[in-house]
Amino acid sequence: MSDKSSRDLLGSASGSFIAWWLPLGAMLLAIPLPNCPKTVIWLLALVWMGGACLLNARRCGRVHCRYTGPYLLAMTCPVLGHGTGLVPLGGGGWQWLGLAVGGGTAAICGRSERFMGRYR
């Protein structure tokens, strides 16, 4: 195991669970809730996951974390806008936001490491 991979939060099940799967689960469980609690939960989860990505990029140089961290933090803006009603996205707004968060993160993860490798 290389020095970089030993510091990778994604390398351990517990690190992965706490940093990403737990907040993702909270976002999914919040879907049927009213806008106010859903907005708060999604914002906290996105900040938590984005911060974990930035920390992981700094700890081990994981390539996709360099890009998913800022992306997840940036996604707090449309979530906050839609959740407060400042940027109404219609009846399917939360679904669109979920697709943007999930699809964007998956695309960044897959593409960045495919073209630039796992660590830098």
Q: What are the 10-residue block averages of pLDDT along the chain, 120 residues in total?
A: 74 88 97 97 98 91 92 98 95 96 95 88
Angstrom distance (rounded) from CA 53 to CA 65: 5
Angstrom distance (rounded) from CA 120 to CA 113: 10
Rounded to 5 degrees, what angle do the CA atoms 18, 13, 24 make?
40
| pLDDT on residue 67 | 96
Domain ranges of the chain: 3-116
pTM: 0.91
Query: How many CA atoms are closer than 13 Å to the CA of 46, on its beta-carbon side?
Result: 24
